[in-house]
Structure 1
């Protein structure tokens, strides 16, 4: 199913200001924040400042290549914006990054639409344009010169999920993995063959808990001539549904909940990621870490994103098994207070 064939939903909210919860059948054209009736824990209508500052939005793109893992991120938590990109060199186990933090919307923008939007951080030269559901990602620097389109397959589709969060909030998550790439990528002037690349994206937004944390795992790979994408998470979208998804040659399989067993104090120890139903049974061995700790009192972030190898077995809903043996991907452990 192509992105253009998915558009059936104008807004995430109905006329009563209530979101459409559960797995959606299509990408919302816009979130429709103006329709949302945000209430306090005492059931009063929240004031305009609370409604503005409590909204958060994140966008992330990962690209897997034979030689590099590339990540591009943007976040708007209203009080400030954060963007980074990194290039992980598989051969040397070296990770080079660039990052910026900007206050109160200064020289950056994230638009609340997963269908038609332009997001950018001028200070870092990062830009994500979404047009009719298709993602275009650009980075302009000496380290990374990139202008790519993420192309969805002719079957399947993205994960599109909205769940209740906290007392009166909500979180919308849209993710799609194992996407073909067109365009150009240069790392330190070296041109890559984009036909060998696979990518995944993450659009997450909403009124999340003001103190929250999550664990996450993601991979994009070709294994035994099958195009495999995985998104696994715990900590946010778990009220009645999970965002756990497996893509096999474009076909999407929605999965049950998973557990993340790992040691925060020892970044070299392997992780175990598994589900009670046996569909997910993976070991993750970290190779490199991108971390950042920010403590501004009322605002805090403790972020760790790992590059490493996945091994184990994935099982789709039809009972087919897909063994993984040292397949590169990402995990993440994040605490935030906002």
Structure 2
């Protein structure tokens, strides 16, 4: 993979579109950030207006894990949750650091590290371009530990997109789903071998100068089909639809772009099913939530109304040469309002 070296060009503007080989460095401090009235903003303003977050999902029929590190500069947040479908056992952990203390996300999507620490609770994601792995490490005072390695060397075709956000901003995101992983999760006196339970990973690496107020709906799947092929998708609406979208599916690592997706759901009925349909007819699915992680925060300068569901997908994916039927495969959906 020969990635484009820098996102921001010599004129201080980002390159927009889809990058088949990704981006090496998000050199956001080189961006010519201005107010809507064209006044240049300082480097300090750039630092505080630049938002970053990463989410990693580990999914199998035996265990669902969601892990995130979020850096909003005025504060940072880290959460981890686990769900065991057979027993419906669920546990979540959430930590906040004012002024993003002990939080760092390096601007290298495929060769950088994200870390969060609060007391003796530590979470890190570390990507290395060679040999092409992303290591996930979680160690909490509760006794929860996660030591996982995600393979990004075999059939690795991430969807990397940069699009406009509002009048003067932009968003970069890199998504990949249905990635092979191995390692262990130790939770509540039980150890899960990720390779044995055939867990697959999804990775969301996002950053940018985002709209002051924004929202998105999101759907994500990583599963192994009955014939042994790995299937994953990333579907979204509300944040990256200015010229392109972040909608795609992966079949055994091959990336297939998907058109705009309509999400139909009732946010006040969290147990009701969602419908997801793409304009090109590829996606014809519904999602049945089995549980959720929910968080609301309303401060003077920032706010968030966040609901991430884990549950099962049903329906059809229509490809040129076949129709893939989903019958209860596990994944995520999300409804999120944010004011940064």
Which TM-score band (shorter chain)? over 0.9
In structure 1, the partner of 2:76 is 81
Shift of 1:182: 2.2
**C-alpha distance in structure 2 between counterparts of 1:59 and 1:15, whole Å:** 27
Residue 154 of structure 2 is aligned to residue 135 of structure 1: no
Shift of 1:154: 3.0
When the two structures are aligned, how many residues end up with a matched partner?
A: 332
**C-alpha distance in structure 2 between counterparts of 1:92 and 1:193, whole Å:** 18
In structure 2, the partner of 1:285 is 288
- Partner SS for 2:45: helix
Residue 277 of structure 2 is aligned to residue 274 of structure 1: yes
In structure 2, the partner of 1:12 is 7
4+ aligned runs moved over 4 Å, structure 1: none
- Report if aligned partners of 1:153, 1:179 keep a CA contact under 8 Å in 2: no
Shift of 1:143: 4.7
1:122-171 C-alpha deviation (Å, 9 max, x unpaired): 11311111111531110113453111111136335001111111111111
Shift of 1:205: 0.3
**C-alpha distance in structure 2 between counterparts of 1:109 and 1:158, whole Å:** 23
Shift of 1:29: 1.7
Unaligned residue ranges in structure 2 (runs of 5+): none
Shift of 1:91: 1.3
**Given the superposition, is the C-alpha separation of residues 163 and 284 from structure 1 closer, same or farther in structure 2, using an over 3 Å criterion?**
same
Shift of 1:86: 0.6
Taking structure 1 as the reference length, what is the TM-score of the superposition?
0.95
In structure 1, the partner of 2:38 is 43
In structure 2, the partner of 1:304 is 307
- When the two chains are superposed, the root-mean-square deviation of aligned CA atoms in Å is 1.4
Residue 115 of structure 2 is aligned to residue 149 of structure 1: no
Residue 298 of structure 2 is aligned to residue 295 of structure 1: yes
**C-alpha distance in structure 2 between counterparts of 1:26 and 1:276, whole Å:** 26
1:277-299 C-alpha deviation (Å, 9 max, x unpaired): 21101111111011000011221
- Report if aligned partners of 1:218, 1:330 keep a CA contact under 8 Å in 2: yes
Shift of 1:231: 0.5
Shift of 1:108: 1.6
1:262 paired residue among 243, 261, 265: 265
Unaligned residue ranges in structure 1 (runs of 5+): 1-5
- Report if aligned partners of 1:21, 1:164 keep a CA contact under 8 Å in 2: yes
Shift of 1:92: 2.1
Shift of 1:239: 0.5
Residue 122 of structure 2 is aligned to residue 125 of structure 1: yes
1:169-226 C-alpha deviation (Å, 9 max, x unpaired): 1110101100001232222232223221111100000001010000000011012222
**C-alpha distance in structure 1 between counterparts of 2:62 and 2:283, whole Å:** 27
**C-alpha distance in structure 2 between counterparts of 1:175 and 1:292, whole Å:** 23
- Report if aligned partners of 2:183, 2:193 keep a CA contact under 8 Å in 1: no
In structure 2, the partner of 1:61 is 56
